[in-house]
């Protein structure tokens, strides 16, 4: 590991001492502000908590265009069921395994902490030559690009933006999907559990999960949809009554675990267990190539006096809605095998008091298709009689006709590594989409180090890719010297 990569990882480790789940970035923002002041950089924050740090140009670069180095401060806080980690106070302890940096039973937050660390080392290195720069560190990106949406019109002055939030070194992203989240919350009357009924908890887990945009086309199981199939099978054997429902954790993560508590006639218990077990084997076979650890449990639960549940009819409505909800890859880009255009993620399930909640995340690089998908999701909600709330709506980032920044990056990358980079449009939301819509004339590109399994406890960062990214960014900054134009 070279000294610059070691320095970046050391800075990343320091960043990981601070809580930074989405919506909890106050401490990390304060620390970064102190770091800026200690290095003599002016800085300011907007009402949302977004932080902008002004970095003067290196000598000879004063007349170069201002370049924005942009990353987000928050992370997706995911952990395994047996982890006791408290993201609100416990530092993330990083572990090196070969060429990969990971964490014990939690997400590592390389998305996007590694980029912040890179930016800090970049601007404080006396050898690096660069134009005037703005380090733009946003808040609440993972909840739906919230911080970027709240940027004031005059907050930044640069019109060249480097978004360091992509996850494959050597790949330049020049466009992304738009998205909508839909929360439906139907309410029902509860009724006493009939005499002679028993309680059963059906749960499924062990799935890989992952990013609901980047990983949606990788044939990974959605635990909420698996649970819906298991419940539907139980409901075909006898009347069942829903008492508890849980599944998923984040709008932008494919659910890894889900479960439900149901009441059913005691004399049907054996038949239901048999049918659920048979279906579980079939589902495991469907996903044998990608979900080797998929599990299904069928467990008796002690019944308490005066237990209440949904009626059989209302339980059927909820299960039918979960079955009918679109999920996974819905459209691919014509002529580009494997590239996802439109998708849906049945993300989070809940049941509190008499209210069921279903959160569904939708994405598309074609805004008309996104609107059509959203209408389909809302139609399912209407059949369920559910109140609907639309949240986290953001536009697609269309491929720019003016590709001067892309061409510059291509030239620099080829000069550094004697090979061409890959250029792509991704099926995920990036802050470029929002920032570009707020600041007309912005030239933008996104790149980053290689990461695997973001938004999950299996997240890991490739260490050698950080070295290549460093070399590229240093050369890219040097390319902005005015007389080199």
- What amino acid positions are annotated as catalytic residues? 74, 141
Residue in the block written with tokens 């639960």: 301
58, 166 Cβ separation under 8 angstroms:
no
**Residue 183 and residue 359 in contact, taking contact as beta carbons nearer than 8 Å:** yes
The tokens describing 354, both together, are 């008499």
Q: What is the 3-state secondary structure (H, E, C) of 353-396?
A: CCEEEEEEEEEECCHHHHHHHHHHHHHHHHHHCCEEEEEEEECC
- Residue 455, classified by CB atoms within 10 Å of its CB into exposed (0-12), middle (13-18) or buried (19+), is buried
User: DSSP of 147-187, one letter per residue?
Assistant: HHHT--TTS---SEEEE---SSTTEEEEEE-EEEEEEEE-B
Distance CA 204, CA 75 (A): 26
Structural Rg of the chain based on CA atoms: 24
Give yes or no for a contact between 90 and 58, defined as CB atoms under 8 angstroms apart. Answer: no
- In the three-class reduction of DSSP (H, G, I as helix; E, B as strand; rest coil), residue 140 is classed as coil
Tokens representing residue 221 in the block: 């199981």
Dihedral sign from CA coordinates of 254, 395, 174, 21? negative
**311, exposed or middle or buried, with CB in 10 Å at 0-12, 13-18, 19+?**
middle
Position of tokens 């670069």?
Answer: 61
Q: How far apart are CA 22 and CA 25, in angstroms?
A: 7
The CA distance from 420 to 232, in Å, is 51
> Which among 322, 474, 428, 467 is positioned nearest to 2, based on CA atoms?
467
Residues paired with 101 in a beta bridge: 96, 461
325 close to 360: Cβ distance less than 8 angstroms: yes
The two tokens of residue 430 are: 């990036």
């Amino acid at each position: 590991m070279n000294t610059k990569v070691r320095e970046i990882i050391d800075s990343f480790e320091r960043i990981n001492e601070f809580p930074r789940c989405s919506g909890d970035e106050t401490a990390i923002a304060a620390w970064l502000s102190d770091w800026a002041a200690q290095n003599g950089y002016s800085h300011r924050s907007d009402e949302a908590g977004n932080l902008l740090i002004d970095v003067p140009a290196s000598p000879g670069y004063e007349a170069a265009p201002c370049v924005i180095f942009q990353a987000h401060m928050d992370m997706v806080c995911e952990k395994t069921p047996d982890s006791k980690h408290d993201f609100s106070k416990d530092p993330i302890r990083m572990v090196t395994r070969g060429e990969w940096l990971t964490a014990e039973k939690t997400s590592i937050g390389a998305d996007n902490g590694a980029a912040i660390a890179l930016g800090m080392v970049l601007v404080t290195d006396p050898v690096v030559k660069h134009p005037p720069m703005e380090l733009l560190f946003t808040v609440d990106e993972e909840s739906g690009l919230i911080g970027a949406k709240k940027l004031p019109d005059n907050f930044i002055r640069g019109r060249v933006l480097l978004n360091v939030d992509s996850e494959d070194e050597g790949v330049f992203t020049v466009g992304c999907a738009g998205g909508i989240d839909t929360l439906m919350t139907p309410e029902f009357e509860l009724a006493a559990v009939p005499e002679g009924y028993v309680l059963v908890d059906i749960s499924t887990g062990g799935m890989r999960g992952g990013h609901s945009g980047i990983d949606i086309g990788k044939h990974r199981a959605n635990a909420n949809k698996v649970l819906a199939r298991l419940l539907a099978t139980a409901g075909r054997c006898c009347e069942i009554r829903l008492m508890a429902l849980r599944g998923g954790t984040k709008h932008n993560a494919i659910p890894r675990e889900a479960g439900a508590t149901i009441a059913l006639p005691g004399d049907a218990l054996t038949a239901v267990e048999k049918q659920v077990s048979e279906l579980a084997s079939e589902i495991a076979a469907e996903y044998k190539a990608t979900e080797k650890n998929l599990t299904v449990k069928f467990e008796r639960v002690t019944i308490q006096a005066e237990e209440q549940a949904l009626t059989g009819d209302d339980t059927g409505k909820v299960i039918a809605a979960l079955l009918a909800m679109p999920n996974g890859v819905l459209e691919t880009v014509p002529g580009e095998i494997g590239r996802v255009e439109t998708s849906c993620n049945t993300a989070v399930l809940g049941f509190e008091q008499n209210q069921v909640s279903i959160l569904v995340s939708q994405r598309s690089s074609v805004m008309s298709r996104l609107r059509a998908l959203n209408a389909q999701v809302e139609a399912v909600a209407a059949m369920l009689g559910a109140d609907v709330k639309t949240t986290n709506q953001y536009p697609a980032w269309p491929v720019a006709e003016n590709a001067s920044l892309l061409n510059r990056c291509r030239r620099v990358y080829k000069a550094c590594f004697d090979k061409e980079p890959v250029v792509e449009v991704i099926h995920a939301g990036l802050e470029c989409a929002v920032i570009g819509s707020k600041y007309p004339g912005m030239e933008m590109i996104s790149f980053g180090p290689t990461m695997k399994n973001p938004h999950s406890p299996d997240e890991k960062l490739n260490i050698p890719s950080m070295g290549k990214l460093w070399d590229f960014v240093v050369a890219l900054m040097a390319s902005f010297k005015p007389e080199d134009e």
